[in-house]
Chain A
Amino acid sequence: MSAASVLKNGGRAAALPVALIVLAQVAATVTQLESDSLASPADIAKAFVSLMGDGTLLKATADTLKAAAAGCLLGVGAGSLLGIVLGLFRIADDALDLTIELLRPVPVVALIPVVMMLLGFGAEMEIVIIALGMLWPSVVLARAAVKEVEPRLMEVSNVLQLGFAARVWKIVLPAILPQLFMSLKLAAGYALVVAVTVEITANPLGLGYGIMMAQQALRPAEMFAYLIWIGAVGWLISVLLNVAQRTFFPAFVNGEGR
Chain B
Amino acid sequence: MVVTQLSTRPRHGGGHSAPRSGEPRIRIRDVTLAYGSLQIIGGISLDIAPGETISVIGPSGCGKTTLLRMLAGLARPTSGGVELDGSVLGGPNRSVAIVFQDYGKALLPWRTAGGNVSLALEARGCPAKERPAIIRDLLEKIGLGQHAAKYPREMSGGMQQRLQIARCLAQEPKVLLMDEPFGALDAMTRQALQDEVLGLVATTGATMVFVTHDIEEAIYLGDRIVCLQPNPGRVGRIVDVSLARPRDQLLTREDPEFLRLRRELYDLIKDDHQ
Contacts and interface: CB of A to CB of B under 8 A. Distances in A.
Interface in A151-190: 152-153, 155-156, 158-162, 166, 170-171, 174-175, 177
A159 B72 contact: yes
Contact of A160 (B94, B100, B102): B94
B109 interface: yes
Interface stretch (B115-123, B244-252, B254-262): B115-123
Interface centre among A153, A161, A166, A175 (most CB of B within 10 A): A161
B108 A161 contact: no
A150 interface: yes
B74 A170 contact: no
A86 to B, nearest CB: 23
B98 interface: yes
B122 A170 contact: yes
Contact of A158 (B92, B102, B122): B92
Nearest to B94: A161
A161 B74 contact: no
B110 to A, nearest CB: 5
B218 interface: no
Nearest to B124: A160
B119 A160 contact: yes
Contact of A161 (B92, B100, B109): B92
A150 B123 contact: no
Given A152-B102, A156-B106, A159-B74, A170 B119 contact: yes
B92 A174 contact: no
B92 A150 contact: no
A156 B92 CA distance: 10
A155 B122 CA distance: 16
B105 A153 contact: yes
Nearest to B111: A174
Contact of A159 (B92, B105, B122): B92
Nearest to B102: A152
B109 A160 contact: no
Nearest to B100: A152
Contacts of B91: 158
B93 interface: yes
Chain B interface SS verdict (over half): loop
B101 to A, nearest CB: 10
Contacts of B102: 152
A160 B109 CA distance: 17
B108 A171 contact: yes
Nearest to B97: A159
A219 interface: no
A147 interface: no
A174 B105 contact: no
B92 A153 contact: no
A66 interface: no
A149 to B, nearest CB: 11
Contacts of A152: 100, 102, 105-106
Interface string B217-238: 0000000000000000000000
Contacts of A158: 73-74, 91-92
Contacts of B166: none
A253 B180 CA distance: 34
Nearest to B123: A160
Contacts of A153: 105-106, 108
A36 B107 CA distance: 65
A159 B108 contact: no
A258 interface: yes
B40 interface: no
Contacts of B124: 160
A171 B120 CA distance: 12
B192 to A, nearest CB: 24
Contacts of A174: 108, 110-111
Given A158-B74, A159-B73, 11 more contacts: A150-B105, A152-B105, A153-B106, A155-B100, A156-B119, A160-B92, A160-B119, A160-B124, A161-B94, A166-B122, A171-B108
Shortest Cβ-Cβ A-B pairs, 9 listed: A160-B123, A152-B105, A158-B92, A174-B110, A159-B92, A152-B106, A150-B105, A161-B94, A162-B123
15 contacts: A150-B105, A153-B105, A153-B106, A155-B106, A156-B119, A159-B73, A159-B96, A160-B92, A160-B120, A161-B93, A161-B94, A162-B123, A166-B122, A170-B122, A175-B110
